[in-house]
Amino acid sequence: MTNKFIYLLAFCSGFCIMGIELLGGRILAPYFGSSIHIWGSIITVFMLSLSIGYLLGGKLSTSPVSLKRYGVIFIVAGIAILPIVYFAQPLMEIIFIHIEDSRYGSLLASIALFFIPTLFLGMLSPYSVRLLTTHQDHSGNVAGKLYFISTLGSAFGTIVTSFYLVLYFDLNNIVFSFSATLILLGFTAYFQRYSITALTQ
């Protein structure tokens, strides 16, 4: 049951990552437009942030792991999303005024708004793998299944956000829902009972 719960969390984190990335284009558009270099800025920041998150999550998973710590990462990621709602507009106004080139303005705005929450979301995948891996011989299979489910969540996040959520809900409400989902999942994981078995050689 707990393994299924971890896979569910991995699915939801993938969903939120792509949902937020898609919303990034809508958030930046009023100030910097929606041309290809705006999306280039957003994708670059997300890829860079996720790569660092994977690295940090991998390092964190080398110490004793627990669902409590896993839950804390979810909670922090959910909280880190909230500044997008409260500070996006004034922040982009400042950047728009001081940086004339929309390429670098959009890049700076993307870093300011999305780097930190995406970094924490990136930490979840390697930590999920460690939670699910109880034997070294199974690590590759576990990682493959985990990344399959996480990427499937990203695909659903992309289609649901772009086809439905942006049509029926205010942008800030969508961001709030992503934040609330991550925080709720984090608290659920934090209070789960789960014993982590050490990897056997």
Specify the CATH number for the domain of residue 142.
1.20.1250.20
Q: What is the pTM of this model?
A: 0.91
Q: What is the residue range of 179's domain?
A: 2-30+37-190
pLDDT band at 192 (very low <50, low <70, confident <90, very high): confident
Specify if 124 maps to a domain: yes
Range 47-68 burial, b when 16+ CB lie within 10 A, else e: ebbbeebbebbeebbeeebbbe
Q: What's the DSSP call for residue 62?
A: T
pLDDT score at 2: 77
Alpha-carbon torsion angle 132, 67, 58, 185, nearest 10 = 100
Q: Give the mean model confidence (pLDDT) for residues 100-113.
A: 95
How many domains, in total, are found in the chain? 1
Q: How confident is the model at residue 201 (pLDDT cuts 50, 70, 90)?
A: very low
Average per-residue pLDDT in the chain? 92
What are the pLDDT digits (tens) for 40-59? 999 999 999 999 999 999 99
- Asked if the structure places residue 48 within a domain, the reply is yes
Q: Which helix (H) or strand (E) holds 4?
A: helix 2-32
143 is a domain residue: yes
